[in-house]
Amino acid sequence: MAPGHEGELPSDAELRDSCNLGYATACARLPQDRAWDSVRFGAKALAANGSLVQVKYVCERDHRPVEHGVVIFDALDARWESSHPDERVQRLAECFLQSHLEKKKRELEPADSVDVPGKNL
């Protein structure tokens, strides 16, 4: 979505070397006029059953916060109760939440038994 590069997909090397962790100053597609360099996320359940999830975000520029807020996901209805007005940040929040929920699910699943010599697991 970088201006002048709409619809282009970066190569694997570009993603790995320039775009992966924010502050992508080596990226040739990086717009000079931009609101943020990076967006960070965190999540927590608002309800004991995990039906509401709060996703906090912080948009950074030059390693300083310039915007922050919260979006809320209703897991029971599988819909966002509130969303970010910028579709790019909202999409990042959706990807973050999907990864976060998958990680939580794996943490709750019983571990498969592993054969270790001399140990019964």
> Does residue 46 fall inside a structural domain?
yes
> Does residue 75 fall inside a structural domain?
yes
DSSP labels, 6-47:
TT----HHHIIIIITTS--TT-TT--SS-S-SEEEEEEEESS
> Does residue 58 fall inside a structural domain?
yes
> Does residue 114 fall inside a structural domain?
no
pLDDT per position as a tens digit, 11-58: 888 877 777 656 677 777 878 888 888 899 999 999 888 789 999 999
> Does residue 29 fall inside a structural domain?
no
- Which domain does 83 fall in, by range? 35-108
* Cα separation, 69 vs 94, whole angstroms: 15
Assign residue 29 a region (left: φ > 0; alpha: ψ between -120 and 50; beta: otherwise). alpha
Tell me the one-letter amino acid at 72.
I
> Does residue 21 fall inside a structural domain?
no
Cβ burial, residue 13 (10 Å; 0-12/13-18/19+): exposed
> Does residue 23 fall inside a structural domain?
no
This prediction's pTM: 0.75
Total structural domains in the chain?
1
* Cα separation, 1 vs 3, whole angstroms: 6
pLDDT per position as a tens digit, 74-108: 999 999 999 999 999 999 999 999 999 899 888 88
> Does residue 83 fall inside a structural domain?
yes
CA-based nearest residue to 19, from 97, 28, 63: 28
